[in-house]
Structure 1
Amino acid sequence: MPRFLRPLTRAVTYTRWLHLLCAAVLAFVCAAVYPGLVRPSFGDWLLIYAIPVPLLVLVGLVPVIRRAEGLQARLMLFPGGHARVAESEEANSVSIAPSASWRDRGRTALWLGLRHVLGLSVALFSGQAMALVLELAGATAGEESGAAVIVPINDTGWWYGALIPVVLVAMVYVVAGAGRVMARLAPLLLGPSAAERLAALEERTEQLLERNRIARELHDSIGHALTVAVVQAGAARTAGDAAFTDQALGAIEETGRAALDDLERVLVVLREPERPASTRPTLQDADRLLDSARAAGSKVDVEVTGPLDTVPGPVSREGYRILQEALTNVLRHCGTVPVTVTLQVADKYLVLEVRNPLPTERGSGNGGTGSGLRGVRERAALLGGHARTGPLRDEWQVHVELPVA
């Protein structure tokens, strides 16, 4: 469809028209009281424009009016489902919150005043255009219509009928232009204040942080369980020993059950945000990780220095996930190699270190995306610590220091 015909076919043109006509109701009510609508003079029309303005300013100072105007603007000024086109991004830039400051109240009052002036002008223009259509229809039929129009037609003829579509199309285009003006003014006068934008940004940031945290939780927990299960299943198939197979199946069952518990806890947080989440594992539960690594066939030596129960909860919980990711990487990329785990609790820092021999052949183990090690560094940085990961001589090292003071 040609672009210049779109205003005639878009539903939003007519919802904006209705939005503007609604703004003229107050003016006509006031005019019916004073100065009257019977043959008003030019000065009377100026009064009709001016009288409602003080009342609209007072109404605009009421905080809840901003919400009402914002809802109307979103519904009637911007394309949406009612217009059968994609929703405009500008609709989201119109606030539906009550006025929180005098600046918001002033912008709302200015919006009401401009909507009144433009709405009354559109109503008068629409009335005159329809009166002209009736005048043209009467002239086409050879009769005088008697419509009150500024430029009356004193002649008759069939050719006047050809002007009726022109007048109607011109009226719709003028209305479409006025509606576009209101749509441009809405984000400026009804848009969110700086405080609202900051609050929305903070809320969005919190949502993204929560999503990242949940993604890390699932990556660490489910990834560890699947890695242990794959290693155990492969070792059992290679060994061909019934006793070892039973032991491997038991380890897979225990690891899978723990992973299901973690998955259920995360899903509860997603389904019911208001419900408190169950307790997350801490470094005091690290034996579960070490036992699963040993059950997979790795020899794990552990050295613990200092009381783990004195480590703050957030640090202990993140330390558990870091240890889980480090052991998962060992099993996934190096197989069942010896692992050395060091946990040292000092006055200011918790030092967590995991070391294992590097693969004997280049390309040993499975390739990865690096998201696990990136998650380790992110966890450490969020707690104010730091992490080093990479080869150290003939070993692979994950060295993390987290503040506990």
Structure 2
Amino acid sequence: MPIYLDNHATTRTDPRVVEAMLPYFTEQYGNASSVSHRFGWEASDAVDRAREQVAALIGAEPSEIVFTSGATEANNLALKGTALAARGPGQGGDHLVCSSVEHRAVLDPLRRLARESGWHLTIVPSDPHGRISVEAVEQALTDRTVLVSVMAANNEVGTLNPIGAIGRLCQDRGIVFHTDAAQTVGKIPIDVQADAIDLLSLTAHKFHGPKGIGALFVRRQGRRARLASLVDGGGHERGLRSGTLPVPLIVGLGRAAELAREEGPADADRMRSLRDRLDQSIRTLLHNQGVVLNGHPTERLPNNLNLSFEGVEGEALMMNLRTLAVSSGAACSSSEPEPSHVLRAMGRDERLGRASLRFGLGRFTTCEEVELASTIVAETVTRLRQSTCNSQVNHPDLARADL
């Protein structure tokens, strides 16, 4: 099996999470909405317990957690739901704000609202590290701004954004603040109260829970976030997300959240140490030549390392790393030939952007895997550089054209 270093795409489900889920497939298999018998009561109790576990992880109240199929659905509910609610009688706002480095699950819904529903959208540029400043967001606001969406941490380069400061800015202006925290929750502490967050999206499979389950935090304390539902029928989840609740998956999300709350700080320290070891080992083996860090040097996720390699073709680099499970960008966009929109927004040239690797470490990554991965990467880059150099020597016309 390849060495798995793609934990931003998804993570291995923790065996303790699987153990917690199993009884709800075969023994306690009731529908949580069945209120007339014990099977339904047990399922409902399990859902309530999971809601408490998720809420505790982000500093929320259990009643503020709405279960979804994942962060993509949570993002769509947050953005489109806010837009639909804001277009009611007596509402006058028609302006939305997001950043240029958002995940497609935020950019695409907002662009659809702008294209099909008449909303005005401002996309705030990032700095060369992929970070969004409070000042840039403030400059984008108008007296008609309804919502601002800025991700807590970038899914490709791991850069952390000052969401607390952005949240307080929006709070002072009476603007709804949403953050896509899919990559952040379970890795670094996040507090929706301290950071003045109104809406927060998360998904279980990014922190060792099962795929197919996530949640949206919807503020109910103080200034409540107003949403319109996107799915009708049944009135589940306070009328915001109709559909039979997937109890085993919800139990898995709750248990993953509980483990992240208990073990997250230790996991983060360990992953940060392994991440730095991987970075330093690759640089040492390549004699510190032509290795470019993408993302903020210090303000980034503890498990993220995104490097570009000068002098190699991106497609050749990925094709020659079959024994490593890594990516060159977001997993949702990896089938597309276009270079990363995040790296483009940061100002990386296309050639260097294509020759990038995203390493994502996880709870189960070992020291041995990190050492072997660094050797494989360095040997591959060295071989490809030598091949390019030999090609230019043998075909000088191609070398001149390339320049």
User: Structures share a fold, TM > 0.5?
Assistant: no
The structure with the larger Rg is 1
Normalising by the residue count of structure 1, what TM-score does the alignment of the two structures yield? Answer: 0.21
Structure of higher RCO (CA pairs closer than 8 Å, 6+ residues apart): 2
Q: Which has the higher helix share?
A: 1
Normalising by the residue count of structure 2, what TM-score does the alignment of the two structures yield? Answer: 0.22
